[in-house]
């Protein structure tokens, strides 16, 4: 049995969490049908280093991928407002933002970093970090530097903000003593309780960034499991069910580098349904059947290479059907169809759009690798696409200790 590692004696630790893809069910899920989200091997990383010799305690958030580093003197943060808010039950704090605290932090950031108004991602990251920091940590805290890096593209529908929120939540729960050991995710007795706490506070971080998130992305990033979900409508809460561990099949994510608005694509589908409800509902029902079949296939046991090949083929056909239904809804894009033409036309992969569509990314379940795939990826690169090889993942949020730090 591994010895407990006290957080207070740990000078340096790193937290990581996965991104995600919507595998099946986009758009149809808005109208009560099923969808599947799955974690991928691309991850975000947050390194937390204690600085023991500073006379004036400070906290630094560094995001080198975005060219951002900001240091705050801890005593100058708006603690008066935070302490009033912290008197409320945690159940309330973890389900809705407190306007007094968000306003106080926003005002503080506008005074200390006026240029943030023009840097949306910088502002959102700093707001989410400070909001969680001030609810979980102390005005008498030690000095720390938090350094965030990520393999997940921003704004591509791959759960980058949720992955980051899970990392921030975990690191701050550890540094504040709410999670008392860096081994808390290895102890079967306390693991689920720790994961639930991480997920609750990661959802708060997501609220700081997105306003009204579904909670799906942070749950996938925390638990590291594929999830089947639906939105019943009528203001009811989203229903979720874990599918458990799925095979780590190879995936290719292609970014069209066409910016898209999820709200615009959702509105387009709504207008189409208003114009021809029978046709659009038939498309939704087909997507729902595809998703149900995918759930069955993903929960079957893979015993050998033959059953694995059968799984890839079956999932691949379902992926292609799902994409055709989404294209019929009008949410594809010429750049996405170009990817399908090259990859699927050359029998290299099974491809569909992922997320809202209208741009953004495709996901491809790979059928073949080698020279033909390399040449196709080079061609896509020359046409202005960007690509990353990844896979489905079963790794949840992770905590590691830098053993080289004394």
Task: Give the three-state DSSP class for 256.
Answer: coil
What are 197-200's contacts with CB under 8 Å, separation 24+?
197/173, 198/166, 198/169, 198/170, 198/173, 198/222, 198/397, 199/166, 199/169, 199/223, 200/90, 200/94
Distance CA 83, CA 74 (A): 14
Give the residue among 54, 94, 99, 102 at the shortest CA–CA distance from 75: 54
Query: Of the listed 217, 271, 276, 281, which one is catalytic?
Result: 217
- DSSP output for 338-365: HHHHHHTTTTSEEEEEETT-SSSEEEEE
Element (H, E) at 198: helix 188-210
Separation in Å, CA 392 to CA 73, 247, 362, 363:
41, 7, 15, 11
Distance CA 297, CA 83 (A): 50
Distance CA 256, CA 327 (A): 16
Q: Is position 274 annotated as part of the catalytic site?
A: no
Residues with catalytic function: 217
């Amino acid at each position: 049995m591994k010895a407990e590692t006290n957080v207070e004696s740990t000078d340096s630790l790193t937290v990581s969490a996965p991104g995600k893809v919507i595998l099946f069910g986009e758009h149809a899920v808005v109208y009560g049908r099923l969808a599947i989200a799955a974690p991928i091997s691309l991850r975000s990383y947050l390194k937390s280093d204690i600085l023991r010799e500073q006379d004036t305690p400070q906290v630094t958030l560094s995001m080198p991928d975005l060219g951002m580093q900001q240091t705050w003197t801890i005593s100058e943060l708006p603690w008066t407002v935070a302490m009033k808010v912290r008197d409320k039950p945690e159940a309330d704090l973890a389900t809705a933002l407190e306007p007094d605290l968000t306003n106080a932090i926003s005002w503080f950031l506008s005074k200390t970093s006026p240029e943030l108004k023009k840097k949306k991602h910088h502002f959102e990251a700093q707001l989410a970090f400070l909001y969680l920091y001030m609810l979980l940590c102390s005005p008498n805290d030690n000095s720390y530097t938090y350094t965030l890096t990520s393999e997940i593209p921003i704004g591509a529908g791959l759960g980058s903000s949720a992955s980051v929120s899970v990392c921030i939540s975990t690191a701050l729960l550890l540094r504040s003593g709410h999670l008392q050991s860096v081994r808390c995710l290895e102890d079967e007795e306390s693991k689920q309780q720790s994961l639930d706490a991480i997920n609750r506070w990661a959802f708060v971080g997501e609220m700081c960034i997105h306003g009204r998130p579904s909670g799906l992305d942070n749950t996938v990033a925390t638990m590291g499991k594929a999830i089947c979900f639906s939105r019943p409508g009528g203001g009811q809460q989203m229903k979720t069910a874990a599918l458990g561990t799925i095979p780590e099949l190879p995936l290719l994510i292609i970014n069209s580098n066409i910016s898209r608005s999820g709200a615009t694509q959702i509105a387009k589908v709504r207008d189409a349904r208003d114009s021809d409800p029978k046709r659009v509902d038939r498309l939704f029902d087909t997507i729902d059947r595809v998703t149900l079949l995918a759930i069955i296939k993903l929960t079957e046991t893979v015993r050998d290479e033959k059953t694995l090949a059968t799984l890839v083929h079956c999932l691949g056909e379902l992926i292609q059907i799902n994409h055709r239904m989404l294209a019929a809804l009008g949410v594809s894009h010429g750049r996405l169809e170009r990817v399908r033409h090259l990859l699927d036309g050359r029998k290299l992969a099974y491809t569909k759009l992922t997320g809202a569509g209208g741009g953004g990314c495709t996901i491809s379940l790979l059928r073949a690798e080698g020279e033909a795939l390399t040449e196709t990826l080079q061609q896509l690169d020359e046409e202005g696409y960007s690509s990353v090889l990844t896979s489905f993942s079963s790794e949840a949020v992770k905590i590691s200790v830098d053993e080289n730090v004394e």
